[in-house]
């Protein structure tokens, strides 16, 4: 609303900015998790992200016209002509810093809390109080702000109050600096995957040994975590021992030689790539939640009796719907055991098709109401149509988000090796974030195609002149094709065998299966 109401950006431009920002917020956690495990640790990352978020929201507050009007020589009104170059630089810099802050908090808060709980017996109650207060402010400040801020009209205060609150929360967090446990980072499993690719590439001209026993395995004291599989044999060259390889711990951690188990971990990650690619379309559909859906709701009738319901309160219903879907997944789908994760993801994709179809139908109705009341060129006027018509598409989209999140998380819980589960989950979120960013390309491409033959572009400066209903139909077709692709990939994927009794597992191992790499498959993935 700030970009369309104050900056006077057209809907497509504003949605593009938010979707690129939302995509970055989903991609950065994957890289930050690597930094946490390999370099910084949870505490340092939380310090950096807290400072980044506080400074970022402060910059956004300073970018509003009244704050720096005297210093920049611009006007103080909330109008497009009052937005100068300085305000734009502050706004975009603030957005980037907020993205860094949100991503850093996402990967470090839970880990730091777990570390404090593990060492809670070492601290007295007085020190624990300060730690708890700091965490409470960090967590509750955004929630309270989201409910209260809609009643505040000036944008400088809407951004300024959260800036002050986050600054106070950060200071309270820093008051317990000496009381927090700060374990050193232990290294990232993502490094091992990179080592496999580097080592296998460096030996691309080396022939495979005649006996698999010549491949580099763990030392005799360590259990063999994975059974050697035959797919993706090109990566096995990372485990080929050369005459000058040597032995010892320094070799085990080098970039020239990897163990068979490390190679098998890398194979699992590669085999998941086709599955990851099907998540991009989910991200494209999810990107319309906080952009086009919100803009549709902006000028609809939000009254219940005499109470004009704030839009964020309406969006809380969306959050509650996600909770309902999460409970349904837990009670109804988890009983399918091995097939529960792909079933949940498939249902999410079906709901994405239904959501886009429903959104297209309701948008067509909204446009008919606009034409009937001659509001096509009055984008700031209220539309005599209840906002609660949008509940249908919001409810379906909540199912898309919730079921896909639960299904993807359960999929990695079942199929991924323990060391890589968290990374693979964040990687899927990053792929979804890529979908957010690709939605900008999708809108641009669809708009250009719609112009062919001298026709009007479906995306106009105002929502009333745009044809979002047709764009939603395009997304419905895209989601349908993606669903078919997912079914094919899910049927071909090598699913891990359920745990077997010791005797059966031993027998399976004799036949080349067993362990974490015993998979069912109809193809070579």
Residue with tokens 């490094």: 191
- In this predicted structure, which of 64-68, 193-197, 204-208, 294-298 has the lowest mean pLDDT? 204-208
- In this predicted structure, which of 36-50, 411-425, 465-479 has the lowest mean pLDDT? 411-425
CA 308 to chain centre: 32
pLDDT at site 147: 61
- In this predicted structure, which of 56-60, 222-226, 309-313, 520-524 has the lowest mean pLDDT? 520-524
| Domain membership flag for residue 489 | yes
| Domain membership flag for residue 517 | no
| Domain membership flag for residue 193 | yes
Buried b (16+ CB within 10 A) or exposed e, 295-321: bbbbbbebeeeeeeebeeebbeebeeb
- Report the range out of 82-86, 213-217, 470-474 with the highest average pLDDT: 470-474
Buried b (16+ CB within 10 A) or exposed e, 387-418: bbbbbebbbbbbbbbbbbbbbbbbbbeebbbe
Whether residue 193 sits in one domain with residue 182: no
| Domain membership flag for residue 507 | no
Average pLDDT, the chain: 79
Tokens of 102: 């949100």
pLDDT at site 250: 43
* Number of domains composing the chain: 3
| Domain membership flag for residue 510 | no
CA angle 12, 17, 21 (to 5 degrees): 145
| Domain membership flag for residue 515 | no
| Residue at which a domain ends, from 186, 220, 243 | 186
Whether residue 466 sits in one domain with residue 333: yes
- In this predicted structure, which of 3-7, 87-91, 211-215, 516-520 has the lowest mean pLDDT? 516-520
- Report the range out of 117-126, 294-303, 307-316, 480-489 with the highest average pLDDT: 480-489
Please list the residues that pair with 386 across neighbouring strands: 301
| Domain membership flag for residue 518 | no
The torsion angles phi and psi of 446, rounded to 5 degrees, stand at -65, -40
| Domain membership flag for residue 257 | yes
What is the span of the domain harbouring residue 193?
Answer: 189-271
Buried b (16+ CB within 10 A) or exposed e, 3-25: bbebbebbbbebbbbbbbbbbbb
Whether residue 463 sits in one domain with residue 316: yes
Whether residue 199 sits in one domain with residue 151: no
Confidence of residue 145 (pLDDT cuts 50, 70, 90): low
| Residue at which a domain ends, from 271, 297, 332 | 271
pLDDT at site 137: 57
Whether residue 261 sits in one domain with residue 201: yes
pLDDT at 490 over 80: yes
Whether residue 114 sits in one domain with residue 212: no
Whether residue 314 sits in one domain with residue 227: no
pLDDT at 507 over 60: no
Whether residue 133 sits in one domain with residue 21: yes
Whether residue 213 sits in one domain with residue 305: no
Whether residue 329 sits in one domain with residue 284: yes
Top pLDDT among 304 and 366 is at 366
Q: Specify the pTM.
A: 0.80
| Residue at which a domain ends, from 243, 271, 299 | 271
Top pLDDT among 14 and 133 is at 14
Confidence of residue 212 (pLDDT cuts 50, 70, 90): low
What are the DSSP E strand ranges found in 456-518? 495-496
pLDDT at site 501: 39
pLDDT at 13 over 50: yes
Residues 6+ apart with CB under 8 A from 125: none
Whether residue 429 sits in one domain with residue 361: yes
Whether residue 351 sits in one domain with residue 488: yes
CATH number at residue 374: 1.20.1250.20
């Amino acid at each position: 609303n700030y970009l369309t109401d104050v900056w006077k950006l057209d809907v497509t431009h504003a949605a593009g900015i938010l979707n690129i920002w939302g995509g970055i917020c989903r991609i950065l956690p994957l890289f930050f998790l690597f930094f946490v495990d390999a370099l910084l640790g949870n505490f340092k990352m939380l310090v950096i992200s807290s400072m980044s978020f506080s400074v970022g929201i402060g910059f956004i507050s300073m970018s509003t016209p009244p704050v720096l009007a005297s210093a920049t020589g611009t006007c103080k009104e909330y109008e497009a002509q009052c937005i100068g170059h300085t305000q734009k630089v502050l706004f975009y810099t603030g957005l980037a810093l907020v993205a860094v802050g949100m991503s850093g908090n996402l990967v470090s808060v839970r880990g730091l809390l777990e570390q404090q709980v593990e060492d809670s017996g070492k601290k007295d109650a007085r020190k624990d109080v300060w730690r708890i207060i700091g965490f409470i402010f960090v967590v509750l400040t955004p929630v309270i702000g989201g409910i209260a801020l809609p009643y505040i009209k000036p944008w400088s205060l809407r951004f300024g109050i959260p800036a002050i609150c986050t600054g106070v929360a950060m200071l309270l967090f820093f008051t317990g600096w000496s009381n927090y446990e700060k374990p050193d980072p232990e290294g990232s499993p993502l490094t091992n995957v990179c080592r496999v690719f580097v080592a296998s590439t460096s030996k691309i001209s080396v022939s495979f040994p005649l006996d698999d026993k010549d491949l580099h395995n763990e030392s005799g004291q360590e259990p063999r975590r994975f059974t050697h599989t035959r797919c993706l044999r090109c990566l096995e060259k990372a485990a080929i021992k050369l005459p000058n390889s040597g032995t010892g711990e320094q070799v085990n951690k080098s970039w020239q030689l990897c163990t068979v188990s490390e190679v098998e971990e890398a194979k699992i990650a590669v085999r998941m790539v086709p599955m990851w690619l099907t998540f991009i379309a989910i991200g494209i559909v999810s990107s319309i939640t906080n952009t086009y859906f919100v803009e549709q709701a902006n000028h609809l009738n939000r009254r219940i009796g005499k109470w004009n319901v704030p839009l964020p309160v309406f969006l809380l219903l969306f959050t509650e719907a996600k909770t309902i879907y999460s409970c349904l997944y837990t009670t109804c789908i988890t009983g399918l055991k091995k097939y529960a994760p792909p079933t949940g993801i498939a249902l999410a994709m079906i709901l994405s098709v239904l959501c886009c179809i429903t959104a297209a139908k309701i948008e067509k109705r909204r446009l008919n109401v606009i034409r009937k009341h001659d509001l096509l060129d009055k984008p700031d006027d209220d539309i005599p149509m209840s906002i609660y018509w949008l509940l249908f598409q919001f409810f379906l989209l909540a199912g898309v988000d919730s079921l896909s999140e639960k299904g993807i998380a359960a999929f990695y819980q079942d199929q991924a090796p323990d060391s890589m589960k968290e990374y693979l989950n964040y990687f899927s979120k990053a792929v979804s974030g890529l979908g957010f960013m690709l939605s900008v390309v999708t809108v641009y491409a669809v708009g250009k195609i719609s112009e062919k033959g001298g026709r009007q572009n479906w995306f106009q400066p105002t929502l009333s002149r745009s044809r979002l209903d047709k764009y939603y139909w395009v997304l419905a077709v895209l989601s349908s094709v993606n669903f078919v692709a997912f079914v094919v990939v899910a049927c071909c994927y090598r699913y891990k065998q359920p745990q077997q009794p010791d005797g059966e597992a031993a027998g399976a191992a004799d036949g080349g299966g067993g362990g974490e790499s015993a998979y069912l498959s109809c193809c070579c993935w």
